[in-house]
Amino acid sequence: MRYVIIGGSIASVGAIEGIRKFDREGSITVISNEPDPYYSRPLISYYLAGKIDRAGLYYRKPEFYQRNRVRVITGKACNLAPDGVVTLESGEKIPFDRLLLAVGGTPLLYDRLAAGRDNVVGFYTLEDVERIRLQVQPGIRVAVIGAGLVGLKAAEALYYLKARPTVVDLAPHPLSGILDPVGGEMVERHLRSRGVEFKLGMEVSSLEGTPRVKQVVFQDGSHLDCDMVIIAAGVRPNLALAAGAGIDIEQGILVDEHQETSIPSVYAAGDVAQAGELLTGDKKVVPILPLAWEQGRTAGMNMAGHEAEYRGSLAVNSVNLLDMSIMTAGDSRAEGLSAVGDNPPFYRKITLHDGIISGLIAINQVDNMGIITAMIRKRVRIHGQESLLLQPRLNGVDLRGCLQTAIN
């Protein structure tokens, strides 16, 4: 069996592990247009801040590919013929029996804003971080476009480097994709108290200055002076290869519960895949790392002939920003029951759907939140135990009692 995987990141790693669980003999080829072997994107901000060294970025040992007998080709796949051939930019043709598209996403706004500018950088790859390291110095003013998790991790790293970050976003509060206004404003207050500036509810219209940008200009005509710009405004799935091959796509590549696309023997996983969501069953792109690995592994096992079903995506985020712990799960922005405290600050919210716990926000005091996440996953009905789940300090024994009422 000839397996080909396009993309060399975490979904690809999951697939190699899934394939090798059931097939020790087949040939595996990974085509990756990043020169580095697999490294963890969530760690690049810690590398930028100097908290870990380059070796600390790699979740798998250097001999991972050798041990799994994987041939790695550095290059870009530019065409996929569904009858079994991938063509690289170099012209090389790679035949396959089973193919996985693990091609992730491309940063939004980057192509439009960065072209021809020396001091505009993305925040997605190790190469981006190496470019930032060459330019960043104490005191420089950095506009970070995007107040999502990636933009805030960039701002945190800049804070540690003694630069002066200002985070810019169209949304009225940070982390608007996972937090409600109460939680978002708490995060904003905390980061402002540490010197991170914000310009929220502001739409970027252009960057002024070539080859070096000097200003971010907003739709309302105002501007922000800066010495450098980091673009961290989210990603859009890389759909060109799938579209060119006639594979069904919507926001991402549509896959079934085996991660197989509309073309048999062609699979997709990770940030590019639109897979079933755990709570609603709807198909959605949920771009987070553990799900990319799980989807890749599910795809790999199926590619190797072992029937495995993806259990469905549940968005779980856990992040620490300048000593503030933040955790969210499921339908976290819906209306819910909440508790807020000031001294020390904490926020806890649970959301319910027909009495079944469906979402969570916890800011500071996040102990035992894994158990609540497990309840969401198992769709536990909360019988008058709401106040227990809102207490700042949770008792794990009580919590485990709640799990006994699991349905499904």
Cβ distance to ligand FAD smaller for residue 204 or 327: 327
Contact 292, 9 (CB under 8 A): yes
Cβ distance to ligand FAD smaller for residue 81 or 403: 81
Residue with tokens 């950088």: 121
Contact 6, 100 (CB under 8 A): yes
Question: What's the closest the beta carbon of residue 271 comes to ligand FAD, in angstroms?
Answer: 4
Cβ distance to ligand FAD smaller for residue 29 or 45: 45
Query: What region does 204 belong to: left with phi over 0, alpha with psi -120 to 50, or beta?
Result: beta
Question: What's the closest the beta carbon of residue 210 comes to ligand FAD, in angstroms?
Answer: 26
Residue 256 and residue 297: Cα distance in Å, rounded?
Answer: 14
Q: How many Å is the maximal CA-CA distance in the chain?
A: 64
Question: What's the closest the beta carbon of residue 315 comes to ligand FAD, in angstroms?
Answer: 9
Structure tokens given for 316: 């779980």
Question: What's the closest the beta carbon of residue 241 comes to ligand FAD, in angstroms?
Answer: 6
Question: What's the closest the beta carbon of residue 41 comes to ligand FAD, in angstroms?
Answer: 3
Cβ distance to ligand FAD smaller for residue 38 or 218: 38
Question: What's the closest the beta carbon of residue 383 comes to ligand FAD, in angstroms?
Answer: 32
Cβ distance to ligand FAD smaller for residue 79 or 135: 79
Helix (H, G, I), strand (E, B) or coil at 139: coil
Cβ distance to ligand FAD smaller for residue 7 or 312: 7
Cβ distance to ligand FAD smaller for residue 8 or 382: 8
> Positive or negative CA dihedral for 31, 36, 42, 45?
negative
Question: Which residues would be at the binding site for ligand FAD (CB under 6 A)?
Answer: 6-12, 31-34, 41-42, 44-45, 76-77, 102-105, 123-124, 149-150, 153, 238, 241, 270-271, 287-290, 292, 319
Question: What's the closest the beta carbon of residue 360 comes to ligand FAD, in angstroms?
Answer: 16
Phi, psi of 371 (to 5 degrees): -70, -40
Structure tokens given for 132: 């930032």
Q: How far is CA 336 from CA 34, 152, 212, 359, 363, in A?
A: 43, 25, 46, 9, 15
Let me know how many helices (H) and strands (E) the chain has, helices first: 12, 26
Helix (H, G, I), strand (E, B) or coil at 49: coil
Structure tokens given for 198: 């914000």
